[in-house]
Amino acid sequence: MQVKSSIIWRMLAWFLLLALIPLGAVVIFVQRQVNQTVLDVELRAVVREARLHAAESAYHPDAFEEHTQIYQGTEEIAFILRTDGTYQTHTDRQKIGASARNDFAPDILQSFFSAESGSLDNGAAGQIIGYAAIPGQNSAMVIVKDNQAVINNLNSLSRSIFLQLSVILLITSIVSGVAILAVINPLRQLANFADQVGSGNLDATLDQTDLEGEIAVLAGSLARMTARLRDLIYNLESKVKERTRDLEIAAQVSRQITRVLEMDSLLPELVEKTRQGFNLYYVSLFLYDPQKEELLLEVGTGKEGALIKSEAKSFPISARPSLVAQVARERKAEIINDITKSDIHFFNPHLPEARAEAAFPMLVGDELVGVLDLQSETVGRFQAGDSQIFSTLAEQIAIAVRNAQLYRQQEHVAQELERADLMKSQFLASMSHELRTPLNAIINFTQLITMGVAGPVTDEQVTMLNTSLSSSRHLLQLINDVLDISKIQAGKLSLYIEEDVNLNEEIKAAVDMAAPLLQKQNAELEQPIQLIQDIDHDLPLTACDRRRIRQVLLNLLSNAIKFTEQGSITLSAKNKGEEFIFAVMDTGPGIPQAMQARIFEPFVQATNDIKHTQGTGLGLPISRSLVQAHGGELWVESKMGEGTTFFFALPYRPSMTQ
């Protein structure tokens, strides 16, 4: 808040206004009293004068001439008036014998003879008149004085008094104003200063050069107070800054350690960051081996660190005297602020400048991971506040080291697994190649012989060759299925999605491929089973892996054919908008409820019947996985003695470009 100078001027104006009005009134009142008094005195004086002159004139006829000479050349006039109203004599000689009626009003003339003596105030003419009867004569002595001059004199006197008083008042006012300013200005300065300090500007300065007396004392106190406040606050600030910086470094180091999981790259960086951040001489980490109950230097900062590590040997946790071992044993931080006064500090010739040492246990819960050791070149470097920060830091490092150790283990396991997985993949790939190549030769040569390419074959031979051929194909299918299921179990099954696949074509292809199986089955049956098709024509083109969809359909159809000995098989395919629903329904023996879930597990079959165990036992799990990989689902509904229906839903995926 600023003390405004205008206030002072306003105060001064008010002061003048309030002082001058009564002053004027008093002056006017006094002037009136004085005027009255002066008038009275003059009136009495003029009567006395008139009587005196009258008395003299009574005895000395020439007295008038003598005595009235004093009036010559003045505004005053004197005359002797006869009762007839003419001047017997007059200071203005020209008027002698003239009538006074021209000079005075009749009532005034009359009053000259109304009493022996008297006076009157002829205010209208500005005159005072004294008169006295001259004894023994019928005349009166009259003296007329110009009262205006007196009044003027008095007025000018009061004016001058008023003026002088005003001047005095003004001077007093100015002087007091200046005096007030002289007090107020420094107060204003003080107020401004206090105001600045109050609003937080502790660097505000107070100019004390012009200050005197109590104000100077006050200013001095205020300035000293501010200086102390400033010291306190700045001190506090620098302390807070220091703490904040420490915490920031700790946080930085912590962030670093949560990022880096590789211990080899983590720890050297960690100790170096700590050393630089906290301006230390040397920082090292000892790791604890719980099996051997030993500590070993893991890393130290700088060249010294490398040097010391190259010479370091593990030492038991029970070693004495040793600060690090003690801290590890007691799981409690220890500070040696002056190593010359300690008997447990180990003097290392590589660290000649060490003066103070502090060690902090690295704990994860109750478990000791190691010890963080700090050395400083400054005696008394480690204070209570530091201890908190370093303890926290040591805990953070402990967690990081533990994580890194776990990561290392984990990595090892992961590498092993990866290697095993690679071997499995390689095995499968080579099995695929090595098993198929001879099998391909068997199949192809058998086919060629059957076709008579190598010479005529008998019907019996053809039958045998066909059995050999179908067995070989079965074996090949088994190999393919094992490869598929391996991929599914390894999560490596990938689809080859093509746009705009015509499902009607794929269904036809699957039916064509199943047809020979059905023929073969029917050849052994008295009542051939029918394959009924209930298929929506013009199923919309959709994106899918058509070879895999065909594989699923063929698998379901061949299963149905295998297990159905009477009745029929119905293949249906319906467009349900969002998805296609396929169903393969048979009138076979049905699958017991308990088996319905298990048939989707690899190598499980619903029956142990030799005739029916021709399959690989992998078809259904593979089919289900293939449908699921398309985002669909495959399921079974069955009733014992009535038949089984396998359904699968395939999501409709129209072409992007349509």
Indicate which single residue of 441, 515, 532, 640 sits in contact with other proteins (rule: CB under 8 A): 441
Indicate which single residue of 2, 199, 494, 658 sits in contact with other proteins (rule: CB under 8 A): 494
Cβ neighbors of 542 (< 8 A, separation 6 or more) are 500, 501, 503, 580, 650, 652, 653, 654
Q: How many CB atoms lie within 10 A of CB 484?
A: 21
Q: Which stretch binds other proteins (CB under 8 A): 184-192, 227-235, 542-550, 596-604?
A: 542-550
Q: In this structure, what DSSP letter does residue 589 have?
A: S
Using alpha carbons only, give the angle 639, 645, 651 rounded to the nearest 5 degrees: 140
Strand ranges (E), 136-247: 139-146
Residue 447 vs 605, nearer CB to other proteins = 447
Query: Least distance from C-beta 431 to other proteins, angstroms?
Result: 11
- State the burial class of residue 594 (Cβ atoms within 10 Å of its Cβ: 0-12, 13-18, 19+): exposed
Alpha helices in 60-140 (DSSP H): 63-68, 106-111
Q: How many CB atoms lie within 10 A of CB 359?
A: 26
Query: Least distance from C-beta 472 to other proteins, angstroms?
Result: 9
Helix, strand or coil, per DSSP, at residue 36? helix
What is the spatial distance between Cα 238 and Cα 252, in angstroms, rounded to a whole number? 20
Query: Least distance from C-beta 578 to other proteins, angstroms?
Result: 25
Residue 445 contacts other proteins per CB under 8 A: yes
Residue 60 vs 492, nearer CB to other proteins = 492
Residue 385 contacts other proteins per CB under 8 A: no
Indicate which single residue of 439, 478, 511, 535 sits in contact with other proteins (rule: CB under 8 A): 439
Residue 519 contacts other proteins per CB under 8 A: no
Residue 137 contacts other proteins per CB under 8 A: no
Indicate which single residue of 188, 547, 562, 612 sits in contact with other proteins (rule: CB under 8 A): 547
φ, ψ for residue 280 (rounded to 5)? -105, 170
Signed CA dihedral, 294, 299, 301, 306: sign only: positive
Query: 590: which 2 tokens?
Result: 């049905």
Residue 600 contacts other proteins per CB under 8 A: no
Residue 257 vs 626, nearer CB to other proteins = 626
Query: 38: which 2 tokens?
Result: 């002066």
Residue 476 contacts other proteins per CB under 8 A: yes
Residue 295 vs 554, nearer CB to other proteins = 554
Indicate which single residue of 291, 347, 456, 496 sits in contact with other proteins (rule: CB under 8 A): 496
* Amino acid residing at 73: G
Residue 486 contacts other proteins per CB under 8 A: no
* Amino acid residing at 653: R
Map the footprint of other proteins across residues 177-236, applying CB under 8 A. Answer: none
What is the spatial distance between Cα 389 and Cα 576, in angstroms, rounded to a whole number? 67
Q: Which stretch binds other proteins (CB under 8 A): 25-33, 84-92, 443-451, 556-564?
A: 443-451
Residue 443 contacts other proteins per CB under 8 A: yes
Contacts with other proteins by CB under 8 A: the residue count is: 27
What is the spatial distance between Cα 237 and Cα 244, in angstroms, rounded to a whole number? 10
φ, ψ for residue 450 (rounded to 5)? -60, -40
Map the footprint of other proteins across residues 551-570, applying CB under 8 A. Answer: 551
Indicate which single residue of 329, 550, 630, 653 sits in contact with other proteins (rule: CB under 8 A): 550
Query: Least distance from C-beta 448 to other proteins, angstroms?
Result: 5
Map the footprint of other proteins across residues 418-437, applying CB under 8 A. Answer: 429, 432-433, 436-437
Interface residues with other proteins (CB under 8 A) are 429, 432-433, 436-441, 443-445, 447-448, 451, 453-454, 476, 480, 494-496, 545, 547-548, 550-551
